[in-house]
Amino acid sequence: MTSAPATMDDARATETGWRSTLAPFRTAEGDPTSDGGGTGDGQPPSSRSGSTAGGRRPYTRLALQFELRELIPRGTHRWNGPTSRSAGAPVKRGDPPGTGEFRLAVRPTAETSRGWARGQMTWTNLPHLLNRLNLDPEQHRWFAELGALHRAVGALTLDPDASMVFLDEFANPVLWAMLAQTTELGIPLIGTGSRSSVTVGASARLVLDAARTEGGVRLAPLLTIDGDEVDLAHARPIGTHGVSIVDPANPRAVLIAPTERSLTGDELAIVRGAGPLAAEVLVPGDDVDDLLTTYLPGLRERIDVSSHDASVPLPALSPATLVLSVRFGTRHETELSWRWRRSRGGGSIPPLDEVLPTGTVPTAWLPGEDASSNDAPNDGRDKATVDAPVPLDVVLDGVESAEFATELLPRLRLLPRVRVETTGTQPAYTRLTGEPELVVSTMPSDRRDWFDLGVTVTVDGRTIPFLPLFTALAKGRKRLLLVDGTYLSLAHPAFARLAELIEEAKDLAEWETAPIISRHHVSLWADFEDLADESVPAAEWRALVDEARGDRPRAVPVSSGIAADLRAYQHEGFSWLAFLWRHRLGGILADDMGLGKTLQCLALVQHVVDGSDAPAGADAEAPFRPFLVVAPTSVAPGWLAEAARFAPGLVVRRATATEAAGGTPIADLASGAHIVVTSYALLRLDAEAYRTAVSGGWSGVILDEAQFVKNQASLVHEAVRDLEAEFVLAVTGTPIENSLTELHAILSLTSPGLFPSARRFGQEYVRVIEDPVGGITSGVGAGSAPAVTEALRAERLDRLRRRIAPFLLRRTKEIVAPELPEKIEQTISIDLAPEHRELYDLYLQRERQKLFGLIEHLDRNRFIVFRSITLLRMLALDASLVSADYADVPSSKLDGLVDHLREVVAEGHRALVFSQFTSYLDRVRSRLEAEGMATTTLEGATRDRQAVVDGFRSGNAPVFLISLKAGGFGLTLTEADYVFLLDPWWNPASEEQAIDRTHRIGQDKNVMVYRLIATDTIEDKVMALKERKALLVDSVLDDGDVFASALDADDIRELLS
């Protein structure tokens, strides 16, 4: 489309049109006729007087009038009479007397020909007078907003005169921004009378002024506006954000100003002339120091304190402090509340995470991102302090109270910007931190290892009541508080196993034992590496192996610091350890019990301390980084004794308690030491302290009795894995007790990267090697599958041996100590007495009927099954263990034991008697003492183990009764030459450890070992299961010369193949 050409008339019309359209936007710039003050309507912008709207008459101007009012009591004859009157107004006859209390009021007024007059205008009807009075819309809007601001806080004036509201009722500090708009809007601020004045100051400040006097220090409130002191007697608050100064004797002069900060409750009281600080306070000279140290911090939280004449030197303002109020109540209830405490003018409140570092308190206690208070403070603090985020107020109950009082509260007291204030009496809580001791019984079945039995738990010598423990586990609780104030964590893996079974059980109170999960049914203990195909340290480890040189580890001379002549095999073992240390490879020293593994380790540490095999570029001046030895609590003292005997030049220190329990900080123990000895329990509880104790990490970690870390899902395994160390050595005579997974767990610490994750190791080795061969293996119907499976098993077993050979050194007593006296083992079958047999068979039939149909649904009925097997285990041993009602039932096993011991003792021999049941050991002790035979007892509850052992060694008693759990390791008892095992244990390694308490280096007599087995009972099947497990251990560890005594080049090449 084309348009017609524009004509001259069109151009003139267009020019006129755009000017008319844009006229409202025309400015004075470039207009020679303009005076620069126009707004398009000819009115100056700075004054709205006489302004018009489109030719209408001029607007009526509005003003805000201030008037000081004296409150008067309401007359009894006029319930709706006035409640205030103008200050200074003449009092008419009959008027009520004034109260002497004054308030500053404001109201709208309109300009008239005779000046400013209120007329009929009130705050209530003002919104409706815009057109009637021809008010300026902008001024009218301002007054409407001011009225709304007053009404927004719910203020209600009871004065019938609705034309005024009181200024102190404006709670919102937006008031000052609105007053600042009055100049631009042309709204005058006026007083009453012809010579009145209203002044709005920029800033008001209230302080408590400290001035030196002849007698001491005078504290007096001081109010300044814009730096000039004003009379506090005439001051009144405006909300919490401002003050007014009006002298009732001269009410026409009004001075108002906003305060620098929101007024606290104490400051409001001062402005009102009330409270203890409204008048001067004189402090004697002798008390000034107490004032400055004890009272000044609290004063500064409520009011600014200064010394205008600098006559009193005031300490610097302290930073804001987070105050925790703790109230200890009854029934283990603890209430916690938090608030900020800061000095007025002391700076801003820091972020909460700077005062409470992340992880200090539970995340659930922390406030949300928008947490703040909208309430005005009522305790004297300023609103900014109240609004600052703080942890939530919480009420702790039961074990949470105990854990808070003993663990978190001491840590909070140490934080520099946290102050703890307590009320009530803090209960005496005690945390049980020891390793739980579990007495466990098991029984074989057609499905291998699917039965585990109930357990009795003892922690720190205290037996945990059955019902509270198992109820807590069933409910998924993490901790348990006992009635006497002791408590314990249920995070130990043993408790986790129990919880898994209890979740599936139907009856918690049927028997006072507890189940433990079978290792072949579910993979409950998957470790953190299950998500990865390789361990992270694998690349580093392989790089170190490449540095190895030589075909075989060279013989290393023993340091002169070792005060012993090492046997040939011990010297060889030391050289092997030195080779591993030289290349930081780590490994497992798996020598038989009693061959001096501790001495070989001490020789290695002395070798390192001497500076031998130091890595290239090492700083010779750098402080020695110690070795950490982790051992069972009962074994730890032996390390100190052995070191003092064989390596007296080594500085050896022992951790005996957690840092939270008052133990020496681990960093302090490590400083200047060569060896720090601790227990697995302490390492687990103080894992972070051990991880960070030594700058640069530990020189090495030695895990004595390393079967304690055989579970990769346990907390102690995780604690060891997180340690920073150049070298990790496992020391154990039983690297495999139950399964190859235990060997993998230990090697994942000593030689990370040697094998893939636990999941893949289970697929490639555990299932193939441990699972029995299925199908028909011979005769009619035999197929090829069993033979193929067996061939695969042999291949994997051979590969496993080759892989671990460079990192595992194992020598048996038969090989390296042929001079050791003979160990003779014998199984003695015990027939139950007729009454005992009848009772056992009765229970057996009852339990069989009870379990019939449940075994097929074992996962749902596991607890009941375990209860039944525990019952049979105890009954086969002694009927009185099941019920005190059977105390008179003859015990053939006890009779047989007494007969043997009577003969042994009479011939001058000494005997060790082991049982898993401490209650049975009590019965044995009573019987032997009745027979005139003295005994000594060691069990989990024994406090001074060493004193008990020393008592036996001294010859005070010929019979030593020992709990298998408490005395299975860490003891040397070569004084005995007879060992009696009263109840069979399916784990062959545990029994061998018990026997080796006496059959070890230093023994000069033959050792006789007797196993007492009740025939035709569950004990027979336990023995069969034990033999089956022994075959697994022997096939991996004790197959001739499978494990090399030293490394050669071919071993390293095979490792990297």
Mean pLDDT for 642-669 is 92
Give the whole-number percent of the chain exceeding pLDDT 90: 23
Domain coordinates in residue numbering, the chain:
62-74+97-192, 204-306, 321-428, 535-754+806-812, 823-833+891-1037
Which of 296-310, 434-448, 988-1002 reaches the highest mean pLDDT?
296-310
CB 454 within 8 A of CB 498: no
Tell me: pLDDT of 98 over 70. yes
Read off the pLDDT band of 293 (50, 70, 90): confident
CATH of domain 535-754+806-812: 3.40.50.10810
DSSP state, 719? H
Q: What local confidence, expressed as pLDDT, does residue 277 receive? A: 83
Among the listed residues 513, 487, 398, the one whose alpha carbon sits nearest the alpha carbon of residue 434: 487
- Lowest-pLDDT range of 272-281, 570-579, 990-999: 990-999
Averaged over 406-411, what is the pLDDT? 90
Containing 628, the helix (H) or strand (E) segment is: strand 627-631
Residue 729: strand pairing partners: 587, 702
pLDDT band of residue 247 (cuts 50, 70, 90) is: very high
How does residue 1051 score in pLDDT terms, banded at 50, 70 and 90? very low
Q: Are 262 and 384 in contact (CB under 8 A)?
A: yes
Q: Is the separation of the CB atoms in 639 and 736 below 8 Å? A: no
Identical fold between 535-754+806-812 and 823-833+891-1037: yes
540/41 Cα distance (integer angstroms): 85
pLDDT for 1043 = 31
Measured CA to CA, the distance from residue 168 to residue 166 in angstroms comes to: 6
Task: List the one residue out of 206, 418, 208 whose CA is nearest residue 314.
Answer: 208
> Whole-angstrom Cα distance, residue 953 to residue 54?
119
694 or 871: which carries more pLDDT confidence?
694
Distance CA 275, CA 956 (A): 79
pLDDT value at residue 178: 94
pLDDT of res. 395: 92
- 491: number of Cβ within 10 Å: 12
pLDDT for the residue 447: 39
Check pLDDT > 80 for residue 690.
Answer: yes
* Residue 160 scores a pLDDT above 80: no
pLDDT at 227 over 80: yes
Report pTM.
Answer: 0.41
688 falls in which pLDDT band (50, 70, 90)? very high
Average pLDDT of the chain, as a whole number: 76
pLDDT digits (tens, 9 = 90+) for 791-837: 888 878 877 887 777 788 888 777 776 666 677 788 888 889 889 99
Whose structure tokens read 């964590």? 489
pLDDT, position 193: 82
- pLDDT for the residue 243: 96
Q: Phi/psi of residue 1008, each to 5°?
A: -100, 125
602 falls in which pLDDT band (50, 70, 90)? very high
Task: List the one residue out of 133, 271, 155 whose CA is nearest residue 208.
Answer: 271
Lowest mean per-residue pLDDT among 15-19, 298-302, 571-575: 15-19
Tokens of 163: 């034309």
Query: Are the C-beta atoms of 1056 and 538 separated by less than 8 Å?
Result: no
Cross-strand pairs, 179: none
Choice among 5-14, 268-277, 537-546 with the minimum mean pLDDT: 537-546
pLDDT in tens, 178-215: 999 999 999 999 998 888 999 999 999 998 888 998 88
Q: Which residue has the higher pLDDT, 1007 or 35?
A: 1007
CA dist 35 to 27, 30, 38, 39, Å? Answer: 11, 11, 7, 11
From 508-522, 755-769, 860-874, the region with the lowest mean pLDDT:
508-522
DSSP-assigned states of every residue in 268-290: HHHHTT-STTSS-EEEEGGGHHH
For the record, the structure tokens of 954 come out as: 């001294």
Please check whether residue 970 is in contact with residue 634, taking contact to mean a CB–CB distance below 8 angstroms: yes
Of the segments 356-370, 600-614, 691-705, which one has the largest average pLDDT value?
691-705
Question: Which stretch, 443-452, 469-478, 710-719, 994-1003, has highest mean pLDDT?
Answer: 710-719
If residue 108 lies in a helix (H) or strand (E), which one and from where to where? strand 102-112
Lowest mean pLDDT among 49-53, 666-670, 842-846, 994-998: 49-53
Burial class for 607, CB neighbours closer than 10 Å (0-12, 13-18, 19+): buried
Asked if the 823-833+891-1037 domain carries CATH number 3.40.50.300, the reply is yes
Say what the pLDDT of residue 1053 is: 30
pLDDT band at 627 (very low <50, low <70, confident <90, very high): very high
Q: What percent of the chain lies above the pLDDT cut of 70?
A: 73
Residue 71 sits at φ, ψ, to 5 deg, of: -75, 140
pLDDT at 571 over 80: yes
Q: What is the pLDDT of residues 57-71, one digit of tens each?
A: 788 899 999 999 988
Sheet holding 486-489, edge to edge: 430-432, 486-489, 479-481
pLDDT, tens digit (0-9, with 9 covering 90-100), for 427-468: 888 888 888 776 543 333 333 333 333 346 778 888 877 667
Least trusted range by pLDDT, from 219-228, 500-509, 983-992: 500-509
